[in-house]
Amino acid sequence: MPRFFERVRMPWCVKPGRTRTIRYHLICLVAVCVIPVWIVAGILVYQSYQTKYAQLTNAMLDAARSLSMNVDRDLASVQAALTAFAVSPSFAAGDLAEIHRQARALLRSYPGADIIVSDSSGQQLVNSYRSFGTPLPKRNTPETVRRIFQTGQPVISDLYFGALTKRPLIAIDVPVFRDNRVAYDLSMAFPATQLSTLLSQQRLSQGRFGVILDSQCVVVARTRGQERYSGVNACSRLRRAVAVAAEGVLEADDLEEKPVVSAFCKSSLSSWTVVIGVPLAAVTSRMYEWLALVLAGTLLLSLVGLVLAMVMGRNIAWSIQSLLAPMPVSDVLKHSGLKEVDDVADALREAARLTEKRLEERLEIESQLLLSEQRYRSVVEDQTEVISRFRPDGTLIFVNEVYCRIFGKTSSEVLGSSWHPVAMPADLAVIENKLRLLSPSHPVVIVENRVVTASGEVRWMQFVNRGMFDTQGRLIETLSVGRDITERKQAEDALRAYARRLMDVEETLRKAIAAELHDEIGRDLTVLGINLSIIGASLPSDAVVSLLARVEDSGKLVENISRTVRNIMASLRPPVLDDYGLAAALRWYCHLFSLRTGIDVRVQAGEDFPRMTVEQEIVLFRIAQEALTNVAKHAAARSVTVSLQREDGKVCFSIADDGRGFVFDPGVPLSETSGWGMTIMRERAELIGGQFRLESAVGRGVTVVVELPEGEV
């Protein structure tokens, strides 16, 4: 027992194998006390930064507004001068030479600018840059010319390059009216560098820069790099911000790919945008200074506290060691006369008792777990099914011996890898889609897919997959049990082949019988009808009336028999199906059905619906016959809708009635709920690769749906 207590060091306080000194805990205490100081310091620094940031951005936004007003003022003055020039009598007289002279006189107040007069096609008539009479090209801004002649309102253009000067220009266009209609487009174009001069006059603070953007967010003027960036689009973040707000502040990279803080304001006159920017580094430098100062002070306080904690911890440790060193460990557990030491001894005794008790309980639990694991493994390993467990990402964490034997791998080779390699690549998408359906409310899914065995043979297997979920409903792992169903699949394939053969034989017989009826019985009935007509015409007028009536009745009987034979031939294999396709055959048959039963049948199928394969057309026609027969016998319906459409890459064929309907349970075989007719329709649909679906409820009629993938048609 004393040796046991020598190894016990307060197991409820520290991890086994690790010992923490009083000095360590005092240091932790100091650290915990210092943490709030660090947090408060960080909050103060952050709040200071936010305040400075808000002041800076507000000042930048005010500067952007002021600069925007200056730009609007200059543009408005030019627009006013042009508007005054537009009422010159020279325009009314059409005197282009005089207009050219007056334009040059006006430009003395606007050095560097040009005045252009153009017609509705954009053809320049006057250009102050050239001598009058010189051949002139068309304007480079046809959209602006079009707006002037359509709206009759002044237009401030975006940045463009002159047709003659090739300089980056900005134009202000005003309409010139004559006889109450727009006769000319009067435009003053001036270099974008004049706006750069306006920017430089603002005397922005050191480090700040200004940019003027046109309505398309193209750089018109810039305090730095005017020649390099003129005509370049602004950054995408700034363009998005300008598109949704008239003014604002954002952080983004400038055209020099440096992070900046930008304030922008959009002009209401020209839809241009003025941007004032400052490098982000200049904004954050003050915060970094504050942060360095606070960190230095906090670090100094922390170091002082840690040194004091280490000194105090060492003193306390020396005091405890001086108490324990003179006496053996066994004596420590006796009454020492000191309350604290006796409390520690009592705690150690109780800890020893609880530890021994828990150790015995743990050994018992481990023994039971080992026995349970042995039983589990014996059950799993003796199974003939393939059993595995895998994580949500497909990583295998358990496989039984059957799994290893079938796929020719050892458990060490398989565990940690994915189950994907054993499945056929063509089946992986179907398997994954099925496994995604696992949920706490739907914990089991069954998947039938092909696998490749160790010998390279492809086998069909059915896997029952059960998902294991945690308390939050997240999938932890999946338990999969698979069995070989290759023989069953082969039998199903054989049955489908037999069914297809029977259907082919049936259609062949129907076609042959219809041909025999047409060639033999139909011919004889026709001859018989002709003979009766000849006999009736050959009888003398004074023949017995009863004999004439008998001959006439026999002729009508022959006609009825001929009609019946034709209906039977059409029912066996309607020629319209072979000659004109399924859509025409459905309209023909539904018309006869309506005449025979009085039920209104509407066919929704386009005249240009493309032909399908012979087998598909026959199957869908037989399904329609069977469904309409059921409607006539059981539905008590007033109307039926037959639809043949192409939807979402599929051919959708449906027959819906408004009859009494019935209770339909998808989990019960069709033969037990609705007779063999529905089962035969389903089997016919599956033979051509289609999916059969039945929808019904009491009082809501019955809908039969067959869907064929587009690739199957």
Is the confidence at residue 393, as pLDDT, over 70? yes
Tens digits of residue pLDDT in 21-32: 666 776 777 777
- How many CA within 13 A on the CB side of residue 363? 5
The pLDDT tens digits of the residues spanning 452-464 come to 988 888 899 999 9
pLDDT of residue 644: 92
Q: Residue 210 CB: number of other CB atoms within 10 A?
A: 22
581-712: CATH topology is: Heat Shock Protein 90 (3.30.565)
- Give tens-digit pLDDT for 178-222: 888 888 988 988 787 777 777 776 667 666 778 888 778 888 778
pLDDT at 12: 42
| Position 686 pLDDT exceeds 50 | yes
pLDDT, mean of residues 491-518: 66
pLDDT at 4 over 60: no
Q: Where are the alpha helices (DSSP H) in 400-485?
A: 401-407, 411-414, 428-435
Q: Which residue's entry shows tokens 């008998």?
A: 550
Fill in the amino acid letter for 663: V
Better-scored residue on pLDDT, 134 or 314:
134
Confidence band, pLDDT 50/70/90 cuts, at residue 444: very high
Q: Is the pLDDT of residue 135 over 80?
A: yes
In sequence order, the β-bridge partners of residue 484 are 461
Does the pLDDT value for residue 694 go beyond 60? Answer: yes
pLDDT tens digits, residue range 469-492? 999 999 999 999 998 888 887 777
Q: What is the mean pLDDT of residues 435-453?
A: 91
Range 624-629 average pLDDT: 89
Would you say residue 43 has pLDDT above 60?
yes
Fold of 383-484: Beta-Lactamase (3.30.450)
pLDDT band at 6 (very low <50, low <70, confident <90, very high): very low
Phi, psi of 573 (to 5 degrees): -160, 90
Q: Is pLDDT of 261 > 50?
A: yes
Of all residues in the chain, the percent with pLDDT exceeding 90 is 11
From residue 676, alpha-carbon distances to 27, 383, 593, 663, 670 in Å are: 85, 39, 22, 16, 7
How far is 358 from 350, CA to CA, in rounded Å?
A: 12
Query: Running DSSP on this structure, what letter comes out for residue 172?
Result: E
Tell me: pLDDT of 385 over 60: yes
Phi, psi of 417 (to 5 degrees): -105, 175
Q: Are 114 and 189 in contact (CB under 8 A)?
A: yes
pLDDT tops 80 at residue 501: no
What pLDDT score does 438 carry? 92
Complete DSSP assignment for 7-21: H---TTTS-TT----
DSSP symbol at 4:
H
Residue that has been written with the tokens 């062949």 in this structure: 508
| Bridge partners, residue 511, by sequence | none
pLDDT at 237: 82
Whether the pLDDT of residue 513 is over 60: the answer is yes
Average pLDDT over residues 73-88: 84
pLDDT of amino acid 655: 94
Q: Residue 432 is encoded by which pair of tokens?
A: 């994954």
Q: Which token pair is 430? A: 């179907």
Predicted local distance difference test score (pLDDT) of residue 592: 87
| DSSP string computed for 238-295 | HHHHHHH-SEEEEEEE-TTS-EEEEEEEE-TTT--EEEEEEEHHHHHHHHHHHHHHHH
Q: What is the DSSP string of 355-383?
A: HHHHHHHHHHHHHHHHHHHHHHHHHHHT-
395 vs 389: CA distance, rounded Å: 9
Closest by CA position to 603, among listed 658, 660, 653:
653
pLDDT computed for residue 516 by the predictor: 60
High-pLDDT (> 70) share of the chain, %: 74
Q: Mind listing the pLDDT tens digit for each residue in 145-177?
A: 888 889 888 888 788 777 666 778 888 899 998
Give the tens place of pLDDT for each residue, 290-348: 777 777 877 787 777 777 767 766 665 555 554 454 444 444 445 545 455 566 666 76
pLDDT band at 496 (very low <50, low <70, confident <90, very high): low
* All structural domains of the chain with their residue ranges: 22-313, 383-484, 581-712
User: Rounded distance, CA 483 to CA 385, Å?
Assistant: 5
Confidence grade of residue 509 (pLDDT, cut at 50, 70, 90): low
Residue 705 has pLDDT above 70, yes or no: yes
Taking all residues of the chain, what is their mean pLDDT, rounded to a whole number?
78
Higher pLDDT, 688 or 331: 688
Is the model more confident about 74 or about 390?
Answer: 390
- What are the beta bridge partners of residue 168? 161
* Contact assessment for residue 529 and residue 553, using Cβ atoms and an 8 Å cutoff: no
- Tell me, yes or no, if the two domains 22-313 and 383-484 fold the same way: yes
pLDDT (0 to 100) of residue 193:
74
| pLDDT at residue 96 in the model | 86
Q: Of 654, 663, 657, which is closest to residue 702 (Cα–Cα)?
A: 657
CATH number at 22-313: 3.30.450.20
